[in-house]
Amino acid sequence: MAPVIVDAAVYHDGTRTEVDCADQDYAALRARARECGGFVWVGLHEPAPEELTAVAEAFDLHPLAVEDAVKAHQRPKLERYEHGLFLVLKTLWYVDAEDAVETGEVSLFIGPDFVVTVRHGHGLDLGPARSFLESSEQVLTHGPSSVVYAVCDRVVDGYVSVVGELQVDVDEVEESVLSPARTNDSVRIYTLKREIAEVRRAVQPLREPLHRFSEGAVSGIDAEAGPFFRDVLDHLSRTADLVDNLDGLLSTAFDVHVARIQLQQNDDMRKISAGAALVVVPTLIAGVYGMNFEHMPELGWALGYPFALLVMAAASGGLWWLFRRSGWW
């Protein structure tokens, strides 16, 4: 099983500082950070309520926010509490094996000298965000805001790659719908629309907080870091546009699919009818020569039988040629 405390470290002056205390000794970590004018980043993964309580005590986290971070299944949101900010993000990743989008959640408690990140779900770990920060001294000097940036960037990159995968799926559906083959795409389209709605629910509510970060309008987030957030917002907006576009394309593709079913039904009906004609007309001819009139010259002909068969074949053949020409076959 993955550990609950993924990592806990003190950063100052743009670098990670070695501290001589255990990961879970949050109070000591915080004291150390305050001492040197830096900040702590504690990263947790699906902590039990009591584990989060210990963290909450060390960093004075608000009980309502802590409750939200335990329960997961929140909407993306930014809230201000007395001692800091509380930001919730939805994480998304694509599981190739199932062609499905899965969702998780990251909650961030942001204070002047600490960030606590609580992650739910197994995909999209925050390791790359931490690595990126530890290798970008200049970004890291923005303090806790830099962690917020790195996490948002990581999460939004997740959106971008999920939308990339969905794009591929939509292209496949489109190809299938537009191909002349007889396909049943409605289930696929339904599932994709459902996933797109899920992506939209993650993406949409994040625009407002990111916009405010990028304008430096949130106290507690470094206004100097605005351009970084603007960059993330830009990716987010592009993602939102693409998602809207995919949804529109799927709707149109669905309509085309339905039109196609109807067209195929009409084609099938005409083909079937043409086929039926090829059998029904000779049947009529056979019926004629099955009549019991005493005076039917053909019946006595030596070649009457082959002649009748020929007439039948000619009728069928003629009809076939006619249907062929008029495009019914």
Contact stretch for a copy of itself (CB under 8 A) within 22-30, 92-100, 151-159, 300-308 = 300-308
Contact stretch for a copy of itself (CB under 8 A) within 26-34, 38-46, 97-105, 249-257 = 249-257
Residue 59 exposed, middle or buried by CB count within 10 Å (0-12, 13-18, 19+): buried
Tell me what percent of the chain is helix, strand and coil, each rounded to the nearest 5. 60, 15, 20
Residue with tokens 């800091």: 84
Q: Which amino acid is at 95?
A: V
Per the CB < 8 A criterion, the answer to whether 80 and 125 are in contact is no
Q: Does residue 266 touch a copy of itself according to CB under 8 A? A: yes
Our CB check for a copy of itself shows the closer of 24 and 183 to be 183
Report helix angle 49-59 to 26-36, nearest 10: 30
Our CB check for a copy of itself shows the closer of 74 and 161 to be 74
Residue selected from 84, 104, 209, 282 as contacting a copy of itself according to rule CB under 8 A: 282
Binding mask 94-133 for a copy of itself (x = CB under 8 A): ----------------------------------------
Residue selected from 127, 273, 314, 318 as contacting a copy of itself according to rule CB under 8 A: 273
Residue 20 Cβ vs a copy of itself, minimum distance, rounded to whole Å: 38
Our CB check for a copy of itself shows the closer of 29 and 87 to be 87
Report helix angle 304-325 to 226-289, nearest 10: 160
By CB under 8 A, the residues from 28 to 87 that bind a copy of itself are 62, 64, 68, 74-75, 77, 79, 81
Q: Does residue 310 touch a copy of itself according to CB under 8 A? A: no
Q: Sheet holding 15-17: strands in order across?
A: 15-17, 5-12, 39-45, 114-120, 100-111, 84-95, 77-81
By CB under 8 A, the residues from 156 to 215 that bind a copy of itself are 174, 177-178, 182, 184, 186-187, 189-190, 193-194, 197, 201
Q: How far apart are CA 244 and CA 237, in angstroms?
A: 11
Our CB check for a copy of itself shows the closer of 27 and 75 to be 75
Residue selected from 4, 270, 311, 320 as contacting a copy of itself according to rule CB under 8 A: 270
Size of interface with a copy of itself, in residues (CB under 8 A): 83
Residue 120 exposed, middle or buried by CB count within 10 Å (0-12, 13-18, 19+): buried
